[in-house]
Structure 1
Amino acid sequence: MPEKQLQRISSTISFRIALPTFLTILLFVITIFSIALPQLEQSLLNRKQEMIMELTETAWSLLEDYHARELRGELSPDEAKRRAILRIGKLRYGPGKKDYFWINDMTPVMIMHPYRPDIEGKDVATFEDPNLKNILTKIVEVVRQQEAGFVDYEWQWKDETQRIAPKISYVKGYEPWGWVIGTGMYSDDVKAEIAAIRNHLAAVSAGILVIISLLALYSIRQSVLADRERQRIFAERGRLMKSLEMSTERFRNLIETTSDWIWEIDRDGRCTYSSPRVENLLGFEPEEILHAPLTAFAAPGQAAAINAAFTKLLAAGKPFNGFEITSLGKDGRVVVLECNAVPIFDERGQLAGYRGVARDITERKTAMEILRKSRDDLHASLEETVASLASAAEKRDPYTAGHQQRVERLACAIAREIGYPEDKIEGLHIAALLHDIGKITLPSEYLAKPTRLSTEEKALFKLHPEVGYDILKRIHFPWPVAEMVLQHHEHLDGTGYPRGLKDDEILLEANILAVADVVEAMSSHRPYRPSLGIDIALDEIRAGRGIRYHAASVDACIDLILEKGFDLSYTRDEDGGGVG
């Protein structure tokens, strides 16, 4: 081929390579500066707005904390507000730690401004920025209309009173005190960050442009040498094909020697490939497995359920893990296989089958069964221990024999009625059986006294929740059993004992236990009085519903006894069932 023709062909190839390259560079620059950069700028502004909103919400939560302490009586109203002002006034953030929070009220009066103490305590309804906007009035309007929102205006630059700059602030009202708290960001800060990003992108784009240009020139040069490489590539191709055959052989050897059984099935679940490992697991030759369903060797008692579950997995067309097949080997040995697989799709994207592995987990399943039995044995031992403790307490008080068992039955029934989770009801069950364990330390004459206790005796009697707590707190139950026992005489209005807890300070289990304890105690005989009857007991919890006693528990208790015929006098040990 003549030299000029070779040069013309080379120039044509070079142009075809260079043109798309430079068009790509141009498209890259246009995309960066016309699409990506504006989106980045907007994203930065949004992120800054989210930041000041989150900071304001955080400062607002401090007001909540001090108001909560005021409501609990820990602080007077004035002291709570004073402390809130001092704490929020010291908060700083941002570069140089000069960004701040301010507080005004709805009058508006400026309550606190770290950099403008001259306007604190003053009615600034007429205070205007350089654009004659009534800033605080605008802020109050936003809070009245939306409770919280963004406000833009002009204000002094941080602590520089002579410099005025545009600002965007987020404000939120705090209704209990009639306050508004806010903080903001200066537009100049955001513009400076955006300018820095733009300059950085311009520098990066220029660098990329230079690099891509050099790469394009290099590609052009390499294209001229491409013909020389083709012959070498054809020669290499033969060697690569031979290497591929060797790799395929190594892969086949790996599959056939791995400890897991590797298989493939079609979309009907029939085996299309089986590695030799199946012989070690089930005793079958790979040829015996081919065209048979993967579940064909499931144990007879479980075959139907396993087939149904496996068919559902195949229909989903998704990867699956941990599917267990209890199989019978060729020699009758039971083998539990764990199968993991991924779907195979044909060229049209249709499900063609699955490729997966099966692992023998028989020993693991056996170990898990042993572990489960051990857990059940431990649970049974716990139940026996709890029953023994409960029995020991009641043997000292024959007049209340069965009280703890009856309270346990009623409390657990109430808990189920209100939809309490079964795993937590288990803890309530134990706490109910042991709720009077603290009486074990009381003198027997107090427990059997035929008249009402004196003031001193009552005071000693009221110690039994704390004594029960001390007995149980060192036992590591999975539930707060000791705390339930300690709180079972607490009332929502704080009139209970021993701590005088209120409302959410009391565990829900303790609230349920209190209702069951009152109903059972009033409807049972005591040494100093006969039974008051179930009607009087239900009247007591009705009268205290939502005041002393948990409302949902009261409703559930009344419904159980009056509507569903719950027999309060029955205890589990009366029919030989124990007290568990």
Structure 2
Amino acid sequence: MLKNMIRKRFKTTSRRIAVPALLTIVLYVITMFMLFLPRIEQSFINRKKEMIYELTETVWSLIDNYHARELSGELTRADAQHRAILRISNLRYGPEKKDYFWINDMTPQFIMHPYRPDVVNKAIKDIKDVRDSSLKNILLKFNEVVAEKGAGYVDYYWQWKDDPDRMSPKLSYVKGFQPWDWIVGTGMYLDDIYAEITAIRNKFMAISTAILGIVLMLSLYSIRQTMKADKELMRVSIERKKLNESLKESKERFQSLLENTSDWIWEIDGKGQYTYSSPRVEALLGFSSDETMHKTIMDFVPMDLKNRYQETFKNLLGSQKSFKGFETTCRKKNGRHVVVENNAVPVFSENGGLLGYRGVTRDITNRKLAMEALKKNRDDLHANLEETVKSLALAEEKRDPYTAGHQTRVDRLACAIARELGLSDHQIEGLHFAALLHDIGKIALPSEFLSKPTLLSHQEHEIIKCHAQVGYDILKNINFPWPVAQIVYQHHEYLDGSGYPRNLTDKQILLEAKILTVADVVEAISSHRPYRPSLGVEAALEEIRNGRGVRYHAPSVDACLKLIRDKKIDLS
């Protein structure tokens, strides 16, 4: 009969656990592949579109600069246009350095195209190549978008970079320059985008498959463990049923069953001395019931731990209230230690006087060990997060080897400043991760800009400044317990609003970002760069002194100066 009941319970429990687990997996698949993944892909495409938009705007600014020089009389229009064409025709970007810019006018005809010189300054009717049969439509599309909106996106087919024998779908951003009736543009090949999206999808599918496998294994494990518990509960239930039946038969039977329960049952007087102790105490502590009489729980606590529990036990007795979860470490008769949990309710006389307590003591040694194991797992997870963040920081340094170690040195200095200012350990830990990742956005910038041995041009500097925004975009969807993405976003903002990318002012900037800004400036000035040698620590300190309270957070500046003056931090 017991086997039949267990078998029936097994089927019920299996369905109870398996169905929700299966529904969870299905919901996960639907959520990930129908909602989350399409959003990631769309976000990726939007970032690419934003990139060609920003690049086109930068080149447009370059043309506008030459136009300004024309208006000032420094250059003639022909000379200004010639210099602009020459400058733009040599610009390249992308992983293969084959992505380019072109210029056409409203005629329409191409004024400059680095890979198709054969169509430059030619009327459409004069171009006879079969592959360029739709060229007129493409140029007309460019003109229509500029005429209607001034700028916009256009999709069409074009030759693959410098390969005239391969045609590929392309999405471009074009913008008109009205003073010269020019249209400047650049684009991205959709085949590239789809290839990157496919790689992301494949990686995501691999991760999802692993997660689903883990969920399935955990579900099977839960079913197995639940069945073990149900089996044990079934047996206990049957035993309790027998106990209830025996209670009706005799008081002796009740006493016998009571004394065989798994917990140590006891009664104490107002002083905490045992007046009754069930035989279970022998299995728990190794002492017989008689040996516990007229003793207190403190008599079983090791001498070196008594001070830890004595005052609490005294207060519990004096409160005359129920207590739960009073944990003590006891020394068994064989010398071993066991952790127990004591729960009790007060017993009062008819006139309301306290007679003592009636309670149970339970062995929780295994539970404590499990909690310690859980804490270790939590610490391991934290260590994994640390290593993951360091790997991301290392990935950025691989792109910019001239600043290798910069993020680590900034991390050390920023955390030292934070400690000097009295920030909490939680805030310092968040600042630590933000400092390690503050330049992660440079991973998306052209490497030739990062390692350029001369000063950057205005346009190049503007592109470099995008790294704060890019870093924020990379980190904003990661669920850190600290505002890491915002700190990275703000680490180039100054108190007076002269920073970038959003020109924030004092009250709009996080304290951690203000600290990071000071550390970043000091480390950058005192370290070597591709375009200059180190300016030295004194130059770095002079910069933050001059900007104290104007650009830089005054308490952070003071703390930094103190740390370096007292030689508590080494910038070498």
What is the TM-score of this pair, normalised by structure 2? 0.50
Take 1:413 and 1:354, find their aligned partners in 2: how far apart are those partners?
A: 54
1:414 aligns with 2:417: yes
Take 1:510 and 1:379, find their aligned partners in 2: how far apart are those partners?
A: 23
Take 1:351 and 1:388, find their aligned partners in 2: how far apart are those partners?
A: 64
1:520 aligns with 2:515: no
Instruction: Check the 8 A contact 1:492/1:548 in 2, yes or no.
Output: yes
Aligned partner of 2:442 in structure 1 is 439
Aligned partner of 2:458 in structure 1 is 455
Take 1:354 and 1:560, find their aligned partners in 2: how far apart are those partners?
A: 59
Aligned counterparts, 1:312-391, within 5 A: 320-330=323-333, 334-341=337-344, 355-391=358-394
Pair 293,467 (structure 1): closer, same or farther in 2 beyond 3 Å: same
Which AA in structure 2 matches 1:454? Answer: S
Instruction: Check the 8 A contact 2:330/2:339 in 1, yes or no.
Output: yes
TM-fit CA distance, 1:349: 9.2
TM-fit CA distance, 1:552: 2.4
Aligned partner of 1:279 in structure 2 is 282
TM-fit CA distance, 1:525: 2.0
RMSD across aligned positions (CA): 3.4
1:558 aligns with 2:530: no
1:296 counterpart SS class: helix
How many residues of Structure 1 are paired with residues of Structure 2 in the alignment? 325
Pair 399,309 (structure 1): closer, same or farther in 2 beyond 3 Å: farther
Which AA in structure 2 matches 1:568? Answer: D
1:567 aligns with 2:572: no
Aligned partner of 2:483 in structure 1 is 480
Take 1:351 and 1:525, find their aligned partners in 2: how far apart are those partners?
A: 78
TM-fit CA distance, 1:294: 0.5
TM-fit CA distance, 1:289: 1.1
Q: 373, 398, 409: which is aligned to 2:401?
A: 398
Take 2:358 and 2:553, find their aligned partners in 1: how far apart are those partners?
A: 57
Instruction: Check the 8 A contact 2:287/2:333 in 1, yes or no.
Output: yes
Which AA in structure 2 matches 1:472? Answer: L
Rg comparison, structure with higher value = 1
Query: Deviations along 1:103-141, whole A, 9 cap, x unmatched?
Result: xxxxxxxxxxxxxxxxxxxxxxxxxxxxxxxxxxxxxxx
Take 2:373 and 2:445, find their aligned partners in 1: how far apart are those partners?
A: 44
1:429 aligns with 2:432: yes
TM-fit CA distance, 1:345: 8.0
1:471 aligns with 2:474: yes
Query: Deviations along 1:399-435, whole A, 9 cap, x unmatched?
Result: 3222111111111111122221112211111111111
Pair 348,525 (structure 1): closer, same or farther in 2 beyond 3 Å: farther
TM-fit CA distance, 1:369: 1.5
1:549 counterpart SS class: coil
Which AA in structure 2 matches 1:520? Answer: E
Query: Deviations along 1:292-311, whole A, 9 cap, x unmatched?
Result: 23133335764564456645
List gaps (5 residues or longer) in structure 1: 1-245, 571-580
Pair 338,509 (structure 1): closer, same or farther in 2 beyond 3 Å: same
TM-fit CA distance, 1:375: 1.0
Aligned partner of 1:492 in structure 2 is 495
1:548 counterpart SS class: coil
Pair 408,319 (structure 1): closer, same or farther in 2 beyond 3 Å: farther
Instruction: Check the 8 A contact 2:396/2:442 in 1, yes or no.
Output: yes
Pair 391,291 (structure 1): closer, same or farther in 2 beyond 3 Å: same
TM-fit CA distance, 1:370: 1.6
TM-fit CA distance, 1:458: 0.4
Which AA in structure 2 matches 1:569? Answer: L
TM-fit CA distance, 1:527: 2.1
Identity of aligned residues (%): 64
Aligned partner of 2:60 in structure 1 is none
1:501 aligns with 2:499: no
Take 2:488 and 2:301, find their aligned partners in 1: how far apart are those partners?
A: 51
List gaps (5 residues or longer) in structure 2: 1-248
Q: 287, 291, 294: which is aligned to 2:294?
A: 291
Take 2:553 and 2:254, find their aligned partners in 1: how far apart are those partners?
A: 68
TM-fit CA distance, 1:477: 1.7
Take 2:257 and 2:547, find their aligned partners in 1: how far apart are those partners?
A: 75
Pair 350,454 (structure 1): closer, same or farther in 2 beyond 3 Å: farther
Take 1:501 and 1:565, find their aligned partners in 2: how far apart are those partners?
A: 33
Pair 556,273 (structure 1): closer, same or farther in 2 beyond 3 Å: farther
Pair 504,258 (structure 1): closer, same or farther in 2 beyond 3 Å: farther
Query: Deviations along 1:504-531, whole A, 9 cap, x unmatched?
Result: 3222211111111112112222222232
TM-fit CA distance, 1:463: 0.9
What is the TM-score of this pair, normalised by structure 1? 0.50
Instruction: Check the 8 A contact 1:520/1:568 in 2, yes or no.
Output: no
Aligned counterparts, 1:116-131, within 5 A: none
Take 2:505 and 2:354, find their aligned partners in 1: how far apart are those partners?
A: 62
TM-fit CA distance, 1:337: 0.7
Which AA in structure 2 matches 1:524? Answer: S
Which AA in structure 2 matches 1:417? Answer: E
Aligned partner of 1:529 in structure 2 is 532
1:515 counterpart SS class: helix
Pair 453,309 (structure 1): closer, same or farther in 2 beyond 3 Å: same
Pair 309,399 (structure 1): closer, same or farther in 2 beyond 3 Å: farther
Take 2:386 and 2:507, find their aligned partners in 1: how far apart are those partners?
A: 30
Take 1:350 and 1:569, find their aligned partners in 2: how far apart are those partners?
A: 71
Take 1:299 and 1:399, find their aligned partners in 2: how far apart are those partners?
A: 61
2:330 counterpart SS class: strand
Pair 266,536 (structure 1): closer, same or farther in 2 beyond 3 Å: farther
Pair 542,337 (structure 1): closer, same or farther in 2 beyond 3 Å: same
Aligned counterparts, 1:72-221, within 5 A: none
Instruction: Check the 8 A contact 2:413/2:569 in 1, yes or no.
Output: no
Query: Deviations along 1:74-101, whole A, 9 cap, x unmatched?
Result: xxxxxxxxxxxxxxxxxxxxxxxxxxxx
Instruction: Check the 8 A contact 1:299/1:328 in 2, yes or no.
Output: yes
Pair 444,492 (structure 1): closer, same or farther in 2 beyond 3 Å: same
